[in-house]
Structure 1
Amino acid sequence: MTMGWIIRGYQYSLKQISAVCVVTAGIVIFTLASYEPGDKNIRSGIDSSTWPIPIPPFIVGVCLLSFSLVLSAYLGLYQETFYQKHGKHNEEMMFYVHFLSIPAFALVGDEMYSAFHVANSTPSFIVSGIDTVIPSAWVYIFTICLFQ
């Protein structure tokens, strides 16, 4: 909303602003409630006591997520301008968004490689007592992708 107000001059009703403030407050509260200083981050294996940067990993993560939200807000405004100027070409825009983000996966290649091995080593998925050969993690991943 802030980007729309600054860049495009959009006006929002009090109801819209209060709804965004309530959702933002909820996200902040739940994010701070999940933070445990000095705790080892199990997913990334980062121990905040041995972190080489003087800023806690939690704060770095929140800053990265905030930066990505600002960029995605700008992307939405840019797409709106693009659609007004050149017409609506959804497939082409989705191609560029996904194609241009592929190089970013090179930064997390090692983590993705180990995650694939972990997913492959999960027990096979069982349906109605029938043991399938498919690792259960992949079934859950594809189900989540299907319903999103």
Structure 2
Amino acid sequence: MAKPQRELTLRFLAEPQDVNFGGKVHGGAVMKWIDLAAYACAAGWSGRYCVTAYAGGIRFVAPIHVGSLVEVNAKVILTGNSSMHIALEVSACDPKSLNRRLTTHCIVIMVAVDEHGEKISVPEWIPETNEDKQQHDTAKKLMEMRKQIGQEMQIFVD
């Protein structure tokens, strides 16, 4: 079996249908691109169909203009039994200059499922570099924080 793909980048041009009423790319369009990249990354790592379990910590840092070359970089930073934590960064630039700037970043958790929709195990990702280890440790800390936030959020769903 080939080595799982840990990281990938989707590239495309922002189109007029992606624009909001303010003339910039709509946040919902950016979130769709993030979900697509997270899926492709998780599927490449696991070799399985994957579903989104969580998307959080999304930060819109800078607007994206129509006609911009957009790059969505996704990489596995933590694996569980069936889950994969994917760190995503969105950058954009004028395709004539290629002077990229960060526009959005977040973490998405994808879960691998079988043909019946049941969770299925994924290959373990083991950090190798110092940067990998730092991202891995941060993902674990964020997981604990999400548990606390989830408990606090129960007041809104009961």
Q: TM-score range by the shorter chain?
A: under 0.3
What TM-score comes out, normalization by structure 1 length? 0.23
What TM-score comes out, normalization by structure 2 length? 0.22
Larger Rg: 1
User: In proportion to residue count, which structure has more helix?
Assistant: 1
| More relative contact order, 1 or 2 (CA 8 Å, 6+ apart) | 2
User: In proportion to residue count, which structure has more strand?
Assistant: 2
